[in-house]
Amino acid sequence: MTSGNFAKCTARFCGGVADDLDAFLEVVLTYKDCTQVFDENALRGLSMLLEGTAATWWQGVKGAVSEWSVSALHDAFSLKLPRHLVFREIFSREQRGDEASDLFVCHIRVLFAQLPGLPQVKLTPLRRCYTDSGMFSYPQRRRLVMIGILYCYSPEGEEE
């Protein structure tokens, strides 16, 4: 069985603040799986996908990286906010009138995923968390509660 490579992968990461590292990593990992790129080839070909600051960073650290892992890239370029700032962002975010509810919920879930050391979580109905806080517009709140798609992270074992 032959191994694929990143030669036809179109994903690029520059390392800038505006670049979305998580989206880049998702594309690269999916491409790697779908084209059956072995870890050795992935490690050797990562430099083809990096540009600018990220490429410079890779040139400096690639000698110290001996196996395929995206953790070094993630550690170097991911936005790391303290827990209190993540929570502030979660609870200050309101749904815009023109924003789809599913998209709003996705944005909130991404913020929860950024919490370091998040305890074991389960999805629970959100009536208490979001519908009473006013984050959703009233018509959306009413519709979403009625169809029951609102969910929130809560520590395992915590009752509503």
Cα-to-chain-centroid distance, residue 67: 23
- The full length of the chain comes to 160
Structure tokens at 68: 């395929």
Structure tokens at 91: 């609870």
Cβ-in-10-Å burial (0-12, 13-18, 19+) of 77 comes to buried
Q: Are residues 62 and 98 in the same domain?
A: no
Structure tokens at 77: 């370029």
**pLDDT tens-digit map of 44-64:** 899 999 999 999 999 999 888
Q: Are residues 110 and 52 in the same domain?
A: no
Band (pLDDT 50/70/90 cuts) for residue 28 is very high
Cβ-in-10-Å burial (0-12, 13-18, 19+) of 58 comes to buried
State residue 31's pLDDT score: 94
Q: Are residues 48 and 110 in the same domain?
A: no
Are the C-beta atoms of residues 144 and 131 closer than 8 Å to each other?
A: yes
Cα end-to-end span (Å), the chain: 52
The domain boundary, picked from 38, 55, 77, lies at 77
Residue 123 placed within a domain: yes
Are the C-beta atoms of residues 155 and 125 closer than 8 Å to each other?
A: no
Please determine, for residue 77, whether its predicted confidence score (pLDDT) is greater than 70.
yes
- Count CB neighbours of 91 within 10 A: 14
In this structure, the strands spanning 151-155 and 121-125 are antiparallel
**pLDDT tens-digit map of 107-157:** 887 777 777 666 555 555 544 445 455 566 656 655 554 444 444 444 444
Query: What is the model's pTM?
Result: 0.57
Instruction: Give 155's strand partners.
Output: 121
Residue 15 placed within a domain: no
The domain total for the chain is 2
**For the residues 2-11, what does the mean pLDDT come to?**
86
Residue 91 placed within a domain: yes
Q: Are residues 70 and 123 in the same domain?
A: no
Structure tokens at 84: 């209190």
Q: Are residues 91 and 147 in the same domain?
A: yes
State residue 37's pLDDT score: 92
User: What residues make up the domain containing 112?
Assistant: 83-155
Q: Are residues 61 and 111 in the same domain?
A: no
